[in-house]
Amino acid sequence: MLDCCGRLGWLAGRLLADLGADVTKLEAPDSDISSVDWSALNVNKKLVRADLTGSGGQSALDEIASTADILLATPHPGSDDAGLFDYQRLCAINPRLILVAITPFGLTGPKACWQASDIEIMAAGGAMGLAGEPDGAPLRVSAPQSYAWAGGQAAVGALTALAARWRTGRGQLVDVSAQAAVITALAHAPTFVDIAGTTPKRAGAFMTGRSVAGAKYRVFWPCRDGFVNFILYGGTAGRRTNEQLVAWMREQGFDLGPLARIDWARFDPTRASQAEVDGMEVPIGRFIGSLSKREFLEGAHRREMLGYPVSNTADIATDPQLEARGFWQDIPARDGRTERHCGAFVVVDGVRPPLVTRTGQIQRVVEKAQKT
Amino acid sequence: MTAGVQALDGVKIVEFGSYAAGPHVGKMLANFGATVVHVESMSRPDGFRMQYPPYKDGKPGMNAGGCFAYFNDSKYDVTVDLKNPEGIGLAKRLADWSDIVIENMRPGVIDRLGLGYGELRSSNPRVIMLSTCNMGQTGPRADTPGFGSQLSALAGMCGLTGERDGPPMLLYGPYIDFIASTLGATAVLAALERRQRTGHGAYLDVSQYECGLMFLAGPMLQFHRSSKIAERAANDDPDAAPHGAYACRGEGWIALSCWSNEEFSRLCGAIGRTDLARDSGLATLAGRKSAATLIHHALAAWAHDSNAQEAAQLLQSAGVHAHSVNSVAELFTDSQLVSRRLWRRRRHPVIGDQAYCFPAFELSETPGDITASGPVLGADNERVFRDFLGLNEDEFNSARAKGAMD
Give per-residue pLDDT as tens, A99-138: 999 999 999 999 999 999 999 999 999 999 999 999 999 9
Residues forming a β-bridge with A220: A229
- Cβ–Cβ of A189/B172 closer than 8 Å? yes
Mutate to test the interface with A, among B157, B169, B258 (most CBs of A within 10 A): B169
- Cβ–Cβ of B363/A173 closer than 8 Å? yes
Burial class (CB in 10 A: 0-12, 13-18, 19+), A64: buried
Residues of chain B with confidence (pLDDT) below 70: 1-3
State residue A80's pLDDT score. 80
Q: What is the number of alpha carbons within 13 Å of residue B317 lying toward its C-beta?
A: 9
Out of B332, B362, B385, pick the residue that ends a domain.
Answer: B332
**B5 inside domain:** no
Are the beta carbons of B404 and B90 closer than 8 angstroms? yes
Of the candidates A221, A344, A348, the residue with the CA atom closest to the CA atom of residue A280:
A221
Q: Which residues does A127 contact at the CB level (< 8 Å), separation at least 6?
A: A140, A145, A146, A182, A185, A186, B171, B172
- Cβ–Cβ of A226/B159 closer than 8 Å? yes
User: Quick check: pTM over 0.80?
Assistant: yes
Judge if B90 and B16 occupy the same domain: yes
Interface of B with A in 73-112 (CB under 8 A): none
Does pLDDT of A245 surpass 80?
yes
Q: Which residues does A2 contact at the CB level (< 8 Å), separation at least 6?
A: A23, A24, A26, A64, A65, A68, A70, A71, A72
Determine contact: A204 vs chain B, CB below 8 A: yes
Calculate mean pLDDT across residues A74-83: 90
**B126 inside domain:** yes
Does pLDDT of A359 surpass 70?
no
Which residue of A123, A164, A200 is in closest CB contact with B366? A164
Find the domain containing B326 and state its range: 243-332
State residue A27's pLDDT score. 95
Judge if B72 and B169 occupy the same domain: yes
Q: What does the alpha-carbon distance between residue A371 and residue A215 come to, in Å, rounded to a whole number?
A: 71
- Cβ–Cβ of A317/B144 closer than 8 Å? no
State residue B1's pLDDT score. 47
The pLDDT confidence band at residue A337, using thresholds 50, 70 and 90, is confident
Q: Architecture of domain A206-312 in CATH?
A: 2-Layer Sandwich (3.30)
- Cβ–Cβ of A160/B213 closer than 8 Å? no
State residue B405's pLDDT score. 97
State residue B2's pLDDT score. 44
CATH code that applies to domain A2-185+331-371: 3.40.50.10540
Chain A: closest CA distance from residue B134 (Å): 11
Judge if B182 and B307 occupy the same domain: no
Q: What does the alpha-carbon distance between residue A327 and residue B146 come to, in Å, rounded to a whole number?
A: 20
Does pLDDT of A362 surpass 60?
no
**B226 inside domain:** no
> What is the domain partition of chain A in residue ranges?
2-185+331-371, 206-312
**Mean of the per-residue pLDDT values of chain A:** 92
pLDDT in tens, A264-282: 998 888 788 889 999 999 9
pLDDT in tens, B342-352: 999 999 999 99
How many separate domains does chain B show? Answer: 2
| Strand-by-strand arrangement of the B321-324 sheet | B243-247, B253-257, B321-324
**B191 inside domain:** yes
Which residues in chain A have their CB less than 8 angstroms from residue B52's CB?
A: 188
Q: What does the alpha-carbon distance between residue B357 and residue B8 come to, in Å, rounded to a whole number?
A: 19
Are the beta carbons of A251 and A257 closer than 8 angstroms? no
State how far the alpha carbon of B222 is from the alpha carbons of A116, A195, A317, B132, B225, in Å.
25, 43, 11, 28, 5
**Separation of CA B169 from chain center:** 19
Q: Containing H/E element for A228?
A: strand A226-229
Of the candidates A285, A31, A11, the residue with the CA atom closest to the CA atom of residue A153:
A11
Task: Determine how β-strand B12-16 pairs with β-strand A328-332.
Answer: unpaired
State residue A131's pLDDT score. 96
Return the CATH number at B137.
3.40.50.10540
**B7 inside domain:** no
Cis bond upstream, residue B23 (ω within 30): no
Q: Count CB-CB contacts under 10 A for residue A208.
A: 16
State residue A206's pLDDT score. 83
- Cβ–Cβ of B70/A188 closer than 8 Å? yes
Q: Containing H/E element for A218?
A: strand A217-218
Judge if B293 and B344 occupy the same domain: no
Of the candidates B303, B286, B302, B295, the residue with the CA atom closest to the CA atom of residue B240:
B286
